[in-house]
Amino acid sequence: MKSRISIPALLGASLLGLVVSAAAAEVKIAVVNPQQILDDTKKGKKIKQMLAEYVETRQRAIQSEEAELKKLEAERVSQESVSSASAKQEKEKVFEQKLAAYQRRLQELDGEVQAKKREALGAFTKAIEQAVQQIAENENIVLVLEKGGSRAGTLILYNQDSLDLTGRVIKALDSKGEQ
């Protein structure tokens, strides 16, 4: 039977190895919260605003198609008692085609939104990584871990405020944006 090692156990063992091997030297570890950086930097706020506007324009297009579907459904139901069987079938067929087209459009727009998010956040993520790397190199920090909020799967449950580089990364990114 194969034994499985969990990621937290592996991370803990790795950190323990760092601490043990660092008996002669000081090991500096830090954390950074990328979501807070996105929320608090000028560039991050611009990205979030741009993405919100992008989603909003797509949402308006979907809402108009949705309203058209509701109108067709209401017409179909209201004329059901006075329409012939062939007319009912035709209206049902038209409605189903429009519904299928609407659902495809929803999937396409979701794909577009996800691609836009990846595109917009890709360069910003690289900028965060560069700023973190610069700070870590300047301060001889050997390990920087990502600290999320209180979401499930977060590995960092607690850290001293002095270990958190988030504020310094925000300042570094904002100062680069002004130059």
Give the DSSP per-residue string, 51-114: HHHHHHHHHHHHHHHHHHHHHHHHHHHHTTTTS-HHHHHHHHHHHHHHHHHHHHHHHHHHHHHH
For residue 2, what pLDDT is reported? 46
Q: Phi first, then psi: what are they for 175, rounded to 5°?
A: -70, -35
pLDDT tens-place string over residues 92-149: 888 889 889 989 999 999 999 999 999 999 989 999 999 999 999 999 999 998 887 6
Query: What is the pLDDT, as a whole number, of residue 156?
Result: 73
Mean pLDDT of the chain: 82
CA 96, chain centre distance (Å): 33
Question: Pick the residue with more confidence: 15 or 114?
Answer: 114
Instruction: Please say if the pLDDT value at position 8 is more than 60.
Output: no
pTM of the model: 0.67
Going by C-alpha positions, the residue among 25, 2, 27 that lies closest to residue 14 is 27
The predicted structure's pLDDT at residue 154: 63
